[in-house]
Copies of this chain bind each other. A is one copy, B any other.
């Protein structure tokens, strides 16, 4: 199996899970943090920064792009990546909403 039974869950649950998956790798977090710090940068810089092979870095960038968190624009022979502030904000909101659900009534267990 190894395949997630998405049909058992709500759209909201699947979406949140996918959003979490997008950032569920240290390399992708490192990419995002570097993009935040530098505001924007090209693939080559990220390859150096991460210490992973160029192919691997490119793959992680693709996943982040698929998730919509980053966008890439062609800059001559290079590609310049940056965070999409709108999607980023949406991520922040969705995660916040999820974590806000707990009403902290002291010790809650049985």
Chain B neighbourhood of A52, CB < 8 A: 5, 8
Measured as residues with beta carbon below 8 angstroms from the partner, the interface class of chain A is: 35 or more
Return the contact of A99 from the options B6, B30, B91, B101 (Cβ within 8 A): B91
Chain B neighbourhood of A10, CB < 8 A: 26, 30
Known: A23-B16, A26-B13. A109 touches B82 (CB 8 A): yes
A2-27 interface (Cβ within 8 A of B): 4-6, 8-10, 13-14, 16-18, 20-21, 23-27
A contact set with B: CB distance below 8 Å: 4-6, 8-10, 13-14, 16-18, 20-21, 23-30, 33, 36, 39-40, 50-52, 71, 73, 75, 80, 82-83, 85, 88-89, 91-92, 95-96, 98-102, 104-106, 108-110
Q: Which 3 A-B pairs have the closest CB atoms?
A: A9-B26, A80-B110, A92-B99
